[in-house]
Amino acid sequence: MEMGMIGLGRMGANMVRRLMEDGHHCIVFDLDPEAVRTLADEGAVGVASIEGLVQALEPPRAVWLMVPAGEATEQTVDAVAAQLAEGDLIVDGGNSYFKDDVRRASELADRGIRYMDVGTSGGVWGLERGYCLMAGGPSEAFARLEPALETLAPGVGGIERTPGREGEPSPAEKGYVHCGPAGTGHLVKMVHNGIEYGLMQAYGEGFDILRAAAADGLPESQRFELDLAEIAEVWRRGSVIGSWLLDLTAAALHRDPQLDGFTGHVQDSGEGRWTVQTAVEEAVPADVLSAALYARFRSRQDHTFAEKLLSAMREQFGGHSEQPSE
């Protein structure tokens, strides 16, 4: 299909590359002209403005946004919508707050413009591994966008089917899913990221306990120097706590066993806060997710080895740069 892509950062550019590899026609724009030129050299149609992107697309148009959540997304949606017509589609693939999606979808529907929110997980590895996609919006818009979603998703791959699933694999088994109406895609992605906070915190604290087994204050007979990189490696193989996050942890510890390249100053990107806020609104206990978020707040005042590991994991999966150590 033909797709307009606005925002050619770490994820947006690689999503365009994955789409083009499967034969989709991509028209691209970014505030950085060099990012546009790079993808134009690789086969995309580069344009110099949002107006140029919309004009280059054949109606009915589909425009996918990969820009930072908040005001940047708000302004971009408004700028794109001003150029679109009835029957066109805007897709927000960033990390917007799901309540903003509900509002935008309602406002655009009055003008006959479709709106979808697609929570996108995959980070800097998505070009190679594919992206996990959680879509919210009208069913007809999902059906129209599905060829692109199927290309961007990992596919069935080598993952064993869940017992009881039979017949043709569902979209979810391929790595993308229609969650429901507008807002549901980013709601599901928000909780996904909240869970990610908790998993990362558990790994960080666990490895910190193992590292502290060598502390001087322990009885000598109970004092152990453990090779954390080797422990992470063995846990990857047959353990019930194996995961991609553990794979990235093992890679980080192998490269820098003491994590000297990290301060342990851990940012939060918004979804963790929104997850806890939503849990409060729904009166749902979320002890682990709340504690993981507060640990990130505390990390900006005092740093532990666990927080250095969180920084290392964020760099591995998302290319997020934390403050370097002195």
**Residues labelled catalytic:** 189, 196
Structure tokens at 185: 């895609």
Structure tokens at 285: 């206990």
**Torsion angle, CA of 311/314/320/322, rounded to 10 degrees?**
0
Sign of the torsion formed by the C-alpha atoms of 149, 154, 160 and 162: negative
Amino acid at 179: C
Long-range Cβ contacts of 54-57 (<8 Å, 24+ apart): 54/4, 54/80, 54/83, 54/84, 55/83, 56/4, 56/27, 57/2, 57/4, 57/27
Amino acid at 185: G
Q: How far apart are the first and last CA of the chain?
A: 49
User: Angle 203-276-281 (CA atoms, 0-180°, nearest 5)?
Assistant: 155
Nearest CA-CA partner of 79 in 90, 69, 66, 94: 90
User: Which strand (E) or helix (H) includes residue 304?
Assistant: none
